[in-house]
C-alpha cells in the first residue's frame, strides 16, 4: 500500500481525534472529538457546542492541528501507527449543510438528536477542518532504519 492509501485507511477506521487550538490569550488547548472524514477534498468534521472553549478558539483563530491514533494501545514500546494533520477549521452554517450532516449521521447515528436540536436553536454545531497537510507515522510499514514519518500533501 502507498502512504496515502494507509493514511486514508487509518483515518477512515479511526473513531476519535484530538484537535489542538490556540485561544485568544495564546494558550494552546486540546479537545477530543468523534469525527467523520472525507477525502478529496480532505476534510474532517465533528460536532461540538459552540460555547465550548475550543469552539470559541476556532472562531478567533482557525489554525488547528490534530492527531488520530490508528491502533489499540496495549503497552509501551509497541509498534505505532497514527496520523497527524494541520489545517484551517471553521464552524459550518446551520443551514445548507444537509449532505455533511447526513454523512456524519451515517457514521454516528446517535448524533441525529444533536442535529435536530441544532435546527431548533440548540448549542451544537458542525465543525470542519480543511486539512492542509498530513503526517503518517507508521512503524509497521516504514520501520527503522527507514523513516516511519511520512509527510503527505492534502488533496
Distance CA 148, CA 141 (A): 8
Q: What is the pLDDT of residue 63?
A: 96
Backbone φ and ψ for 15, nearest 5 degrees, come out as -115, -50
Report CA torsion sign: 65, 69, 74, 79: negative
Q: Taking a C-beta distance cutoff of 8 angstroms, is the pair 101, 109 a contact?
A: no
- Could you tell me which residues come within 8 angstroms of residue 90 by beta carbon, excluding any fewer than 6 positions away? 58, 62, 127, 128, 130
Instruction: Give 10-residue mean pLDDT values along the chain (155 residues).
Output: 95 96 92 97 95 91 96 90 97 92 96 89 92 96 86 94
d(Cα 65, Cα 7) in Å, to the nearest integer? 16
Please state whether the predicted TM-score (pTM) of the whole model is above 0.85. Answer: yes
**Per-residue model confidence (pLDDT) at position 145:** 77
Question: How does DSSP assign 32-91, residue by residue?
Answer: EEEEEEETTTTEEEEEEETTSHHHHHHHH--EEEEEEE-S---STTSPPEEEEEEEEEEE
Amino acid at each position: 500500500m502507498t502512504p496515502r492509501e494507509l493514511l486514508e485507511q487509518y483515518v477512515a477506521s479511526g473513531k476519535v481525534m484530538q484537535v489542538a487550538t490556540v485561544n485568544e490569550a495564546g494558550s494552546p488547548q486540546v479537545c477530543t472529538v468523534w469525527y467523520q472524514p472525507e477525502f478529496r477534498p480532505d476534510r474532517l468534521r465533528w460536532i461540538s457546542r459552540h460555547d465550548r472553549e475550543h469552539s470559541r478558539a476556532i472562531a478567533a483563530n482557525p489554525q488547528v492541528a490534530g492527531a488520530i491514533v490508528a491502533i489499540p494501545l496495549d503497552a509501551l514500546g509497541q509498534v505505532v501507527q497514527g496520523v497527524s494533520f494541520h489545517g484551517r477549521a471553521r464552524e459550518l452554517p446551520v443551514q445548507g449543510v444537509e449532505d455533511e450532516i447526513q454523512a456524519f449521521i451515517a457514521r454516528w447515528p446517535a448524533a441525529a438528536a444533536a442535529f435536530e436540536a441544532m435546527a431548533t436553536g440548540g448549542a451544537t454545531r458542525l465543525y470542519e477542518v480543511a486539512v492542509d497537510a498530513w503526517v503518517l507515522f507508521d512503524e509497521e510499514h516504514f520501520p527503522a532504519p527507514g523513516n516511519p514519518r511520512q509527510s503527505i500533501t492534502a488533496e
